[in-house]
């Protein structure tokens, strides 16, 4: 079951408050709490453009594309440093890189899509 990001944050805040009040340990939500899945066919066209660029090895529109994604949010499964890479998904009409990204893992077809700048991720399902 996926919870909206607001409920996840409320749950995390409640856990922190509870731990502080009773002196217990604070634990992070499970890594899978904000990871869902999405069919490749349901992605915006620009995400599929980015996936094609990744497959081709570039060229990428931004210098940050292909750099290490550090997983600071700890939403994706914990892996060694350098395991994940991030790529911009163009947002039409945006003057900046926008919030949409593809984050790839080193496993074949371990590609995640985020439309909200790392608050949530969906594993891309290539079979639907």
Please indicate whether residue 110 is annotated as part of the active site: no
30-68 pLDDT, tens digit each: 444 569 999 999 999 999 999 999 999 999 999 999 999
Please indicate whether residue 117 is annotated as part of the active site: yes
Contact call for residues 68 and 84 (beta carbons, < 8 A): yes
Q: Say if 64 falls within a structural domain.
A: yes
pTM over the 0.85 mark: no
- Give CA–CA dist 111/91, Å, rounded: 19
Q: Say if 13 falls within a structural domain.
A: no
CB-hemisphere CA count at 13 Å for 96? 5
The predicted pLDDT at position 19 comes to: 38
Q: Say if 79 falls within a structural domain.
A: yes
Q: Say if 38 falls within a structural domain.
A: yes
The predicted pLDDT at position 98 comes to: 95
How much of the chain exceeds pLDDT 70, in percent? Answer: 73
Q: How many domains does the structure of the chain reveal?
A: 1
Structural domain of residue 84, as residue ranges? 34-125
């Amino acid at each position: 079951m996926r919870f909206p990001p607001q409920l996840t944050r409320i749950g995390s805040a409640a856990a922190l408050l509870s731990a502080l009040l009773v002196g217990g340990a604070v634990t992070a939500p499970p890594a899978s709490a904000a990871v869902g899945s999405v069919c490749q066919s349901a992605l915006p066209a620009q995400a599929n453009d980015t996936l094609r660029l990744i497959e081709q090895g570039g060229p990428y529109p931004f210098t940050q594309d292909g750099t290490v994604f550090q997983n600071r949010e700890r939403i994706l499964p914990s892996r060694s440093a350098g395991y994940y890479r991030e790529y911009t998904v163009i947002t039409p009409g945006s003057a900046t890189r926008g919030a949409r990204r593809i984050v790839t893992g080193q496993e074949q077809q371990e590609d995640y899509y985020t439309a909200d700048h790392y608050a949530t991720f969906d594993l891309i399902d290539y079979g639907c």
